[in-house]
Amino acid sequence: MFSKILIANRGEIAVRVIKTARRLGIRTVAVYSEADRAALHVALADEAVLLGPAAATESYLDIGKVVAAALASGAEAIHPGYGFLSENPAFVEAVRNAGLVFIGPDAASIRAMGLKDAAKRLMEEAGVPVVPGYHGDNQDAAFLKVEAGKIGYPVLIKASAGGGGKGMRRVNTDDDFDAALQSCRREAKAAFGDDRVLVEKYVASPRHIEVQVFGDGRGNVVNLFERDCSLQRRHQKVIEEAPAPGMTDAVRAAMTGAAIAAAKAVAYKGAGTVEFIADGSGPLRPDGFWFMEMNTRLQVEHPVTEMVTGFDLVEWQLRVAAGEPLPVQQSDIRLLGHALEARLYAEDPANGFLPQAGRIDHLEFGGGEGIRIDAGVRSGDRVSPYYDPMIAKVIAHGRSRDEAIDRLKKALDGTHVTGLTSNRDFLRALCRDETFRQGRMDTGLIDRNLERLTAIPRLSEEAILIAALTGSDVDVAGPHCGFRLWGEASHRVTSHAGEEVIERRLVLGSGQVRLSGGAEDVLFEDFAFNGRDFSARLVRENGSAGINAHVAVDASGGRQHISVLLDGETYDFERPDLLEGEDAVHHHSGEILAPMTGVVRLVDVEAGVAVKAGDRLVVMEAMKMEYTLRSPRDGLVDAVFCTEGGQAEGGAVLIRMTEGAVDG
């Protein structure tokens, strides 16, 4: 076994590898960019080496720097994690040419499966079913458009070197093909350095089911059952689970058999995932699934497999890379209960899942039986605009699927993220969705129900009162709270929840406080706050009940931000700096703002140009994903404040417009 390894990655996957290595007595070397100096993985590793600037191309993607760091630190092997260089055959060769061990498959296996078009041709030869489409080398735009017409719309344009939902576009009509192809190629070039694509039939009501395989490079390959990854937005997974709902013995045998055949076709070594698309319009069928791709690395969702098998896949990776055989045979692998994983991201589901960058003021996870948290950040850390905005993975295991979902929801109910917007509430809504709970989902479930799943909960008067008390200078636990020689202590409280201005009145009495001015009056007794936990007795006409909440208060930036976690719901309030006046929170309807920090890729307008509602104005890129900003109305462009290739901070004014009708 190795004595020291370097982890060529960051965030939660680097932390995950460190934990197993530490358990096995292996020392770890972290690498980091300037943006990650204070990152959790850097703090946990035994050693850390600075690679370079924040841009991944100058740090995590620089093969020479990573290999040099491993040699200088005395590491014997490199674990690639996932993303970055994990599926780059040139990296594998550079590692091995330097006399180091690559903890993963051979370069030849990665090359064989790395390009989707070549992989699908290889799978056809191996007898693995593939989706109909064009997987050839001709990349002429006009030719690809003709092929799409032959396949029949809708089609899916996919980056040949892609993965993780990047470089993928669904096209419904011939008229939309050219723009979708251009966008797909730009995104693929930015994410993978390769803008080649393939075009294939879009399967109606598709389910995304994948099989975890593991090989030892000696011809031995086992499967560790399947995972269902159908809950997706923008072709990126949101919640994954094992086993797949509705899976029968016959379908599992066919699918795992195809996955084993795929792995053996490339003499696979290490952890890999063979991904299939299945017809979800009815029950799963042995002849109703097709090969999509093979990920020649560990997957983000590998914890659900670990939870239902009891094996540590990172430990397997280390042992096989060190020359040991597979630790078990296929007959030793048993399916134990059910597990789900929810990806907690810094993103805004109600605003097109735009990634969020900034400081996490407070981060706390819900726990309970069967819960595992794989996190890469802590309270006080910053989510960088340069990398994937994942905060953590919340994993739940239960004896049944219902029990696992209930445990997952409970853990999410107790998770509190403040300082930036996260998808926590969206994940909770998915756990409550009846279609999902019944196992009747496909990859379109989220899109069809997006408005309901991203609905903002109605403001709670109890939460408003809690925020007013914990965010004020009133000593709510003091013996003289509310004391007056005559009359009552009354305070006017003004705050903001999003764009809504909230005005209430607090009436304090001995041991009591009442909130008035809202939909209903709220009365608390016996309230207490210790700086984090708030408790009180809610008094109603028909009795009283205990109430408990978690509260995070942050006063940085001249404004007070108060986040209340009450009964699983998060309510965020802002009390503006009084020196800024009542217009402190406002909206400029004539300004097009950058929705997140990122790079401006395209600017389609200039000052003096008339535009119509829906016209494309700017294309931005953040976390290797493209976002198109369109005109909200007819009007005239007054000024353009951004340039192609330039950086824009979230909230910055990109374009200023004057509203008005446009001739023609």
Tokens of 573: 């309030």
Beta strands in 172-313 (DSSP E): 197-201, 206-216, 221-233, 236-242, 269-279, 289-295
The answer to whether 86 and 9 have CB atoms below 8 angstroms apart is yes
The answer to whether 194 and 187 have CB atoms below 8 angstroms apart is no
Residue 39 CA: distances (Å) to CA of 34, 50, 353: 10, 12, 24
Tokens of 460: 């709670």
Burial class (CB in 10 A: 0-12, 13-18, 19+), 253: exposed
Per-residue 3-state assignment (H helix, E strand, C coil) for 438-491: CCCCCCCHHHHCHHHHCCCCCCCHHHHHHHHHHCCCCCCCCCCCCCCCCCCEEE
The answer to whether 650 and 622 have CB atoms below 8 angstroms apart is no
Pairing mode of beta strands 533-540, 522-529: antiparallel
**For residue 307, what are the contacts with CB-CB under 8 A and spacing of at least 6?**
242, 336, 337, 339, 372, 395, 397
Q: Which residues pair with 496 in a beta bridge?
A: 501, 574
Tokens of 596: 């997140």
Pairing mode of beta strands 4-7, 77-79: parallel
Q: How far apart are CA 306 and CA 142, in angstroms?
A: 46
Q: Which of 218, 221, 222, 269 is nearest to 92 (CA)?
A: 269
Q: How far apart are CA 380 and CA 357, in angstroms?
A: 13
Looking at 111, 185, 196, 297, which residue is catalytic? 297
Q: Within 13 Å, how many C-alpha atoms sit on residue 527's CB side? A: 30
Cα torsion angle, 273, 277, 281, 287, sign: negative
Q: Which of 606, 587, 604 is nearest to 651 (CA)?
A: 587
Q: State CA 422 to chain mean position distance.
A: 9
Q: How far apart are CA 229 and CA 209, in angstroms?
A: 6
633 is catalytic: no
**For residue 323, what are the contacts with CB-CB under 8 A and spacing of at least 6?**
none
The answer to whether 132 and 200 have CB atoms below 8 angstroms apart is yes
**What are the residue numbers of the active site?**
297
